[in-house]
Structure 1
Amino acid sequence: MQIDTSAAVSVTNSLGVASTTMTLDPEGMAHLTQVLTNLYADKHLAVLREYSTNALDSHVAAGTTAPVEVTLPTALNPTLVITDHGVGLSRDEIVNVYARYGASTKRGTNTQIGSFGLGAKSAFTIGGQFVVTATKDGRRTVAVFALDNHGVGTVNILAETETVDANGVTVSIAVGDHRQMQDAAEKFFRSWRPGTVLVDGSEPESLYTDGMWLGNDVLHTRRGGITVVMGSVAYPLPASAVHAVRERAGGTWHVHDGRPGLTVFLPIGSVDITPSREAVRDTSRSIDTVAAALRNLPERFEREAHRRTAAATCAAMAVLSTIPLRRAAEWTGVHGLSTAQWRGRPISDLGPAELGSHATFYGKTSRGALSTNTLDKLSVATLDQVTVLVGVPKGRSARRHAKAWVADNRVRLLVQFGDGHDLSGRVDWLTWGDDSPLDTVRFEDIELPSEPDRPRTQTSYDVQLVGGNGQATMTADQVNSAEHPLAYTDDHLPTYAIRSIEFRRALDGYLVIHLRSGQSTAALRRRVPRAVRADDLSRRWVDDRFAALGSLDDLVAAMREHNAVKAAISALGKSRADRITHPTYHRAVTAAASFTSLDPETRELIQRHAGRVPHRGLPALHRDLPLLVRAANFQYDENALDHLVLYANAIAPNPFGAARPGRT
């Protein structure tokens, strides 16, 4: 590739002093080697690009149309092998070109891709050595390139023999991460022309068949911003240059977030690229060249639209052929695209096809059921998504077949015209069957899903033996044959209730059936008549327990006094609380003791059922000694707490229920 040197400056020396030519410092060779080798942001992609394009250049020089052969590394054989059948290399060429930074044989021509004299050393970015096996004019040379202890590249000729093999070069490079190299190959070889490379013996995926051509040098791909392809290598245009290209192209399209999705194919050397060959340089020359190629972008869309509609044999084909073109123009931002015509009638005049009540649309609801609607119009924009159901036997319903087809083709629209019996027809300007481009599916070709024979099974229930371990699933017959007493709970009973004391005590030894959501209580009682409601057993056990303990009101009152005393002692401290002589406090302490004397299970049970007792005002301690209850507010102030004790002892009981200050 010829390098643009138009920016070179000539300086005339008027002092009579000799000029000095800048050179490379031999002592800094290791540093320069690292700098020149590690130019690349994506080193695996760089290695593929440099050695593969060298191989392609060699094929161009030799005039051969054979593909370059690339074998990607694998976990079992982590070696990248690139083979060409071009002009080959002699021993001297290996030493003078491969082993010298900046040496290149391609700067004087735009028929070859390389020019910087750096790519042949790029293998050092992923490893310390690589092997070159070259054949030229009957001599085979094997050379090993390696980095020495100082990081300087060296070349050693291992063998040089006579051979009858054809000219060519094979580069073998050890790869540490074979997956990254495989990913890089999938990305890189997309821009190569079909037939120019084989990757692991097969043609790689190509963007040449993955986009929409607008002429023979611009491809719409809806990928990225603007990409330039020169000599099979794709170079992205910097995002900063996309707007500049649009302006110099006359603003013929609008930039949507800098992503018009265009690939421009240019001759080698048309634009400036970075030394790493990873992108187009943002220079005036590069911008002018790309802008010149895209200046007539609206006309390119026009020509492609006319080409497509001219080849259409019916209105539907004309509409379908322009739908992807219009979507591409909308994505790129080309507005004002005039409508192509079909037989003297603009496509836009066709509008939606008027179907009357002649068509039925089949779709699928969110729950998987079949939905049907009568269509009176069919939008031009959705025409490429339509499939027509044909060949429906007269008198037969198409619903089952339509449901099966829609389930397998969710991105398509299934339409039935009339009774669906006709294999071809016409409604308004829309035709189907025969030469129509609309997809059709025959009723008889739709496969209905097989319905497996399902034996009738009994309803199963989740059961738990209270006091035992785990759960099991049992049928109604198995539950009825159990020796344990039976109870059931529905799915509304919360988990904490099932784990409560009363549940465990009241149903100890019971086999409890836990109804799942959707299972009927009435059906269970009919199938398992012995089962009783677990909640009823639990409530009865609680009532009996409280009856044995005494009045629930007294128990709850004692619990509340206990809570109040506990809070006061916690704030005042035990020694300070013991100095309180007020009778209400001592009655509260006595009530609290009656509560704490109960076993832990009983105390928990009272707390759980305290809500059953109507609220009857504050505990006596809250009522007669309100400041004492608020002792927590002063718990870090020792003097204040001492005064609270003095206050409590100074307050005399009021026979009418209210507290009043005492007399000293």
Structure 2
Amino acid sequence: MKLNTSLANDFTSSGFGEARKFGFEMNAMAFHAVINGMYSDKILAPVREISTNAFDAHLMVDKNDVPFELMAPSTFNPYFMVRDYGPGMSQEEVETRATTAFASSKRDTNNQVGMIGIGMMSPFAYTKQYTITCYDGEFQRDYVCYLDAGEEPNVSAMEPVPSTEPRGLKVMFPVKQEDIYRFQAAISKVMIGFDPMPKILNEAWQPGRPVDLMTGSNFRIVKSDMIKRPYVRQGCVLYPLDAEQIGGEYHDNQLPIILDVPIGTASVSTSREQLGYDETTKANLAKIWKATMEDIQASIQRTLDEPTNFYDACIRYRDLTHTLPSRLWSKGLKWRGKTGLRSSFPFSGSRGATIKMSRPHGVDWITVRQPTSTDLRYGRKAPSWTPEELRDATIVVQSEDLKFAKDRLRRFRSENPGADVIWVKTDYLDSLAKEYGVEDFVDLEDYEPLKLPRTPRQTRSLKKTDIRRFDQWRSIIPGEVDEVIYVQSEGSKYKVFGEVFDYETIQRRFIEPARKVGPLFFDRLIVVLLKTQKAFAKDENWKSLEDVLQEIAGTFNPKDFQRKEEARRLFQDLLVMRLHQRKEQLPKRLQAFFDAIDEIEPVTNGEYDLSQFWQRITGKQLPDLRTYWRDRWAKLIARYPLFDAVHRNDEWLDEYLKLIAR
């Protein structure tokens, strides 16, 4: 990469004596000042520099699409190695460039990434010895680079040996066992910038790759544990970008974006760990950064404008906001410049309207009313609709003073059977249309009332007092309802399971939990039977509250529930979880065990509620089956005692599984 020399000044030396250039004595102190002082990350530096040299080597011989080879250190092979298939190096080049600080042949071109001239020495930031192997198609020449007793760098050449290996270069050095995972993490981070990705020679490990959330001609927005801020990719190297340094309105240092720029666009620090923010670099990056941010915003807007209706655009908006970082979303995004987009539509914004909903499957009307007082908590608990609900529903509107509204709605429903209706009573149509983005309403005033035909009612003579509903001070006439649940009265209270409770206790303890878990309560009327009305309980369609509660509790299988729970708890064990991920590699006994567990359906929230309901109604405790699966697991795993020692290490675990398979 070309050096930026724009700050150099011309100086006329006329009138002065003989000029003498400054010198640089290369000794141990100078060498370590350069290497150790330059690289803050002693592991990341050699990974980046040696890989970048291999990348440049392939560019030099027009092998842009050919990946070089890289081997990451592992427990059983603790070496870092990079092998390229570039032009290689002659004996003279090794002695003059590879072992001479600041000797670079890449400063006059922007076709390659390197320029400083110390990349081949970067392994000294981590180790005291590494090897360079040169191939020319006929011979192999090995060089050992090391620090002598005085800590000065040296290189020793070995005798060439015949080799038919393709032309190129290999750099290799040992890695400490405690640094293996740090090297693998460094490789994963450095390799993000490489295209094509190097060929990784390890069988049991591959570098992690970021997930692309959004891509453009010169950028990638990614999801990755290693990319949490903006980066500039110049060639194959990623440089962290400080957006505040380049100014403008888009200075966001927490956006996980990789910005591709041509080599030479930005100057870099000598360590290649940071950008150099000179005026030329800032001007170049500011222009590219602004254009990229505008391109992203325009792309998002195009994506939101693609749907043909507002609610589909809201669905697209919701999906994108769940995928892309929130920092990309400007306030007030609209669909085709008309209506503001949103992912949900709370009822609290409908300006006092009364709203009812009707579902096609026959559920009764659900009435939702605005609070009459200023209840600040209402905004948090008010119901809301999804875009799908509003898109598929028909909005039926009536004014506050419209007469025969129910009969008019009956007319509409008779002409539109099965319609999913949201029935709104309001005088603020404009406000409602703006709030919910609705363009088409059905006005009930346009429909004539549809009266139900009058049928003569059969009179019934009653010999006893009318029976009262349990939840209302209102009577019913016996015989006019099909199925009834009755509660025996006991003075001003009620008797259930031989105990006397007040109204609130029965609702909280029995009826509300039963409605939550048991369909037997749907569409059933609950009444109160006085002691003088017990004869009505003989009707086959009348059931006592106790019988219905016990019937619901009888649908629960406690043993099956406990086995499911035990299977779920077993998977909280790290060893179980890691072996399940490798099920195909396990012995047949363990595979059969996991197959049996996989067939078990998970416990649902409804089953948890039903288990609590069962315990409350029956007064019993759940059976103690907490070791059903764990005992079987313990017997199986006892055959393989080393699992406990190796399961926390991926490589050890994989090797052990291979040994078992043999």
Normalised to the residue count of structure 2, the TM-score between the two structures is 0.50
Q: Which structure: larger Rg?
A: 1
Normalised to the residue count of structure 1, the TM-score between the two structures is 0.50
